[in-house]
């Protein structure tokens, strides 16, 4: 696996920015490498994921290019007053620039997005906005910014509000196309995982319930653990299982999860093994 | 323009190696291919030297800004690709090995067949070219691929450029350390470790026959002879040769002598001198010349 530290000028951020890249050494597949854009958490930076996660082993095993951009403490949101458009940077500029620079597949089915904590929330919102770019989105212990107090000036950091927007757009397209459940672009498949002792567990459960209510396919798993690196290292196995899974299998898991939660009625989510 | 630091596993070096690349990533067009200059450092240096000691980032940016990212209509190459105009620069590390295969691990002795070498030659001329072309949007055409360097790297660029003329269409040497048997024997070099006969013999693999083979002028003549025998036109057999040296540089006689011999032998080349010593101020001038030329 090659490690690349890349410094470059970003239009969306109006400054130089930096990222770390893992690029597989194997022969480039016919369509190019699969790519995973991986977002760090609050207080972190692009080197976090290198230093604190054993990502390299998984990247090597699965021959996936991994891009770890620097997202500051900005929730991967747009800040017009600062001329810093992180949402647009990740969802458009970064994807295009990396695809033109490296031998990557440009297919949606080969393009994934994941994040930890603040990066998990960011990955979900970006997945909603750029559903045509990413086929799978994973949130590890996502911080969903459900509290309005944290988003006083409406930067769109609240994942629930972002979901509302998707649902609004969906219902608008439902009227225009005249049949239920239709949307302009299907949402990416979603993976949510959270530690049983994580303070963010309730909000993640709530989000999973919302997804279920609106029949948005997703996998929700709780495991013993807290909001820390040992939890996220243990989740890499689950993350890459999800990324490598056939989308049809993920849909089957989702249907199984849904029927279980219907039986357990009232708890709109399964509580995955290992607890 | 992006500045990229690569750490990659290398088979020919038997270890992880680091190199830097300057690539106009932000403004790449769909399907755009870049010309590539492999740029070598001098003795006691590393991949970082050109970045830290010259304005190469700014100079390359200006050069590329003056180039269209696509060639004019009707100038498209094979496979419908446009002829590349803009340039990427790749800066590898070559240790103190004069870009030769040298034994890296003293415990394994000096035997060439031990397999524990730092094979700088195979690394730069083959593996690095192959891997950077795989990882980055680089043109694979010979005329879009150049090699250049300063001092030890000037020697390496001319030597490897000629020896691997199927890969490189341009070879540029600044203040090139064109060490010959005579320069070793005359001991014009003294003091520093890399000027010691023992070190030179270690790096170049001994006396006489090896040294003659490792000589740039000999390499050029042998290559020309082979091309003649094979009926290959000279411009296809040899890269475009450019070398320059500072007028106050003690190594000036080496480049001037190569110029003289190539002129006598009617081998096309360009030799320039410019005020300056064996120093970064001269290489700053030289790299700008090379970026414009290539």
pLDDT at B245: 97
pLDDT > 70: percent of chain A: 89
- What pLDDT, on the 0 to 100 scale, is given for residue A275? 37
Name the pLDDT band for A59 (thresholds 50, 70, 90): very high
Spatial contact of A205 and A233, defined as CB atoms under 8 Å apart? no
Measure in Å the smallest separation between the Cα of B138 and chain A Cα atoms: 9
Q: Quick check: B117 and B101 in contact, CB under 8 A?
A: yes
Residue B74's pLDDT is what?
42
Q: How confident is the model at residue B115 (pLDDT cuts 50, 70, 90)?
A: low
* Percent above pLDDT 90 for chain B: 66
pLDDT digits (tens, 9 = 90+) for B13-36: 888 999 999 999 999 999 999 999
For A232-241, B59-68, B131-140, which range has the lowest pLDDT when averaged over its residues?
A: B59-68
**Interface size, chain A vs chain B, as Cβ–Cβ contacts under 8 Å:** 57
Task: Give A9 to chain B, closest Cα distance, Å.
Answer: 7
The residue among A79 and A205 whose pLDDT is bigger is A205
Quote the pLDDT of residue B105: 57
Please report the domains of chain A, with CATH numbers, ordered by start residue: 2-263 (3.40.50.1820)
Determine the distance in angstroms separating the CA of A38 from the nearest CA of chain B, rounded to an integer.
19
Tokens (6 digits) for B291: 């970026």
pLDDT score of B205: 66
Query: Which of chain A's residues have a Cβ under 8 Å away from the Cβ of B30?
Result: 100
**Of the CATH numbers 3.90.1150.10, 3.40.50.1820, 3.40.50.11030, 3.40.50.300, which one belongs to the domain with range B2-73+81-293?**
3.40.50.1820
Residue B192 has a pLDDT of: 67
State the average pLDDT for chain A: 89
Best interface-test mutation with A: which of B2, B15, B65 has the largest number of A CBs within 10 A?
A: B2
Judged against a pLDDT cut of 60, whether residue A179 lies above it is answered with no
Supply the pLDDT for residue B75. 47
pLDDT at A185: 54
- The mean predicted confidence, pLDDT, of chain B is 87
Kindly provide the b/e burial profile for residues A43-75, where b requires at least 16 CB atoms within 10 angstroms of the residue's own CB: ebbbebbbebbebeebbeeebbbbbbbbbbebb
ipTM of the complex: 0.87
Q: Give DSSP secondary structure letters for B258-287.
A: HHHHHHHTT---EEEEES--SSHHHHHHHH
The confidence score (pLDDT) of residue B200 equals 74
Cα torsion through A228, A229, A234, A238, rounded to 10: 80
Q: Is the pLDDT of residue B59 over 50?
A: yes
**pLDDT tens figures, A194-210:** 999 999 999 999 999 99
What's the rounded Cα separation, in Å, for the pair A156 and B68? 39
- Give residue A176's pLDDT band: very low, low, confident or very high (50, 70, 90): low
Among A33-42, B45-54, B81-90, the range scoring the smallest mean pLDDT is B81-90
Cα separation of B88 and B149, whole Å? 15
The residues on A that touch B, with CB distances below 8 Å, are 1-11, 23, 25, 28, 97, 100-103
In the prediction, which pLDDT does A36 show?
98
B25 closest CB neighbour out of A3, A25, A100: A100
Would you call B8 and A25 a contact, using CB atoms and an 8 Å cutoff?
yes
Residue B182: pLDDT band (50, 70, 90) is low
Residues from chain A that touch B134, judged by Cβ atoms under 8 A, are 28, 103
Higher pLDDT, residue B172 or B250:
B172
Put simply, whether B234 touches A (Cβ < 8 Å) is: no
Residue pLDDT, tens place only, A208-255: 999 999 889 999 999 999 999 999 999 999 999 999 999 999 999 898
Q: Half-sphere exposure of residue A3, counting CA atoms within 13 Å on the CB side? A: 13
The CB-side HSE value for B110 (13 A sphere, CA atoms) comes to 7
What's the pLDDT tens digit per position in A111-159?
Answer: 999 999 999 999 999 999 999 999 999 999 999 988 766 665 678 889 9
Q: Has residue A88 got a pLDDT over 80?
A: yes
Q: What is the pLDDT of residue A186?
A: 83
Chain B residues close to A102, C-beta within 8 Å: 135-136
SS3 state of residue A83: coil
Q: Which two tokens stand for residue A59?
A: 């990247």
* Length of chain A measured in residues: 275
pLDDT at B14: 83
Q: What distance in Å separates the CA atoms of residue A2 and residue A23, rounded to the nearest whole number?
A: 5
Q: What is the mean pLDDT of residues B154-174?
A: 96
Query: Distance from B134 to chain A by nearest Cα, in Å?
Result: 7
Q: Reply yes or no on whether the pLDDT at A269 is more than 50.
A: no
pLDDT band at A165 (very low <50, low <70, confident <90, very high): confident
- A3/B255 Cα distance (integer angstroms): 38
Q: Could you tell me which residues come within 8 angstroms of residue A112 by beta carbon, excluding any fewer than 6 positions away?
A: A34, A35, A36, A37, A64, A134, A135, A136, A137, A138, A243
pLDDT attached to residue B186: 62
Residue B15 has a pLDDT of 85
């Amino acid at each position: 696996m090659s490690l690349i530290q890349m410094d470059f000028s970003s239009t969306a951020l109006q400054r130089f920015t930096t990222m770390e890249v893992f690029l597989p050494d194997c022969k480039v597949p016919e369509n190019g490498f699969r790519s995973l854009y991986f977002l760090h958490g609050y207080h972190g930076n692009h080197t976090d994921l290198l230093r604190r996660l054993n990502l390299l082993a998984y990247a090597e095993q699965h021959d996936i290019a991994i891009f770890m951009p620097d997202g500051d403490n900005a929730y991967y949101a747009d800040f017009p007053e600062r001329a810093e458009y992180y949402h647009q940077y990740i969802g458009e500029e970064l994807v295009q620039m990396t695809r033109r620079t490296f031998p990557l597949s440009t297919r949606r089915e080969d393009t994934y997005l994941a994040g930890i904590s603040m990066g998990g929330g960011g990955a979900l919102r970006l997945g909603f906005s750029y559903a045509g770019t990413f086929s799978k989105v994973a949130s590890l212990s996502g911080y969903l910014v459900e509290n309005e107090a944290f988003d006083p000036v409406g930067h769109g950091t609240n994942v629930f509000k972002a979901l509302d927007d998707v649902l609004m757009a969906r219902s608008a397209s439902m009227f225009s196309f005249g049949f239920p459940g239709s949307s302009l672009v299907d949402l990416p498949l979603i993976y949510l995982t959270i530690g049983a002792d994580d303070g963010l567990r309730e909000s993640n459960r709530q989000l999973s319930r919302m997804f279920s209510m609106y029949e948005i396919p997703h996998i929700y798993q709780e495991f013993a653990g807290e909001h820390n690196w040992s939890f996220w290292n243990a989740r890499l196995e689950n993350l890459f299982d999800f990324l490598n899974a056939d989308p049809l299998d993920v849909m089957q898991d989702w249907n199984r999860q849904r029927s279980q939660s219907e039986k357990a009625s009232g708890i709109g989510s399964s509580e995955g093994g290992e607890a | 323009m992006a500045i990229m630091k690569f750490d990659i596993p290398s088979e020919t070096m038997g270890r992880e190696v680091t190199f830097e690349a300057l690539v106009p990533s932000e403004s790449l067009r769909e399907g755009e291919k870049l010309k590539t200059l492999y740029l070598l450092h001098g003795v006691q240096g590393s991949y970082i030297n050109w970045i830290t000691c010259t304005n190469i980032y700014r100079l390359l940016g200006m050069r590329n800004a003056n180039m269209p990212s696509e060639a004019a209509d009707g100038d498209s190459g094979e496979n419908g690709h446009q002829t590349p105009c803009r340039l990427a620069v790749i800066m590898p590390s070559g240790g103190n090995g004069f870009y030769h295969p040298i034994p890296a691990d003293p415990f394994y002795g000096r035997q060439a067949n031990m397999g524990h070498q730092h094979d700088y030659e195979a690394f730069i001329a083959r593996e690095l070219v192959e891997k950077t072309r795989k990882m980055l949007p680089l043109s694979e055409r010979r005329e879009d691929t150049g090699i250049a360097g300063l001092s030890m790297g000037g020697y390496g660029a001319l030597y490897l450029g000629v020896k691997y003329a199927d890969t490189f269409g341009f070879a540029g040497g600044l203040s090139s350390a064109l060490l010959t048997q005579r320069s070793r024997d005359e001991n014009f070099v003294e003091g520093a470790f890399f000027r010691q006969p023992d070190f030179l013999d270690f790096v170049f693999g001994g006396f006489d026959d090896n040294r003659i083979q490792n000589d740039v002028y000999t390499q050029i003549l042998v290559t020309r002879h082979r091309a003649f025998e094979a009926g290959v036109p000279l411009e296809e057999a040899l890269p475009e040769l450019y070398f320059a040296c500072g007028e106050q540089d003690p190594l000036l006689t080496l480049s001037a002598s190569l110029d003289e011999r190539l002129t006598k032998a009617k081998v096309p080349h360009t030799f320039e001198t410019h005020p300056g010593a064996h120093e970064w101020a001269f290489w700053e001038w030289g790299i700008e010349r090379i970026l414009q030329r290539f």
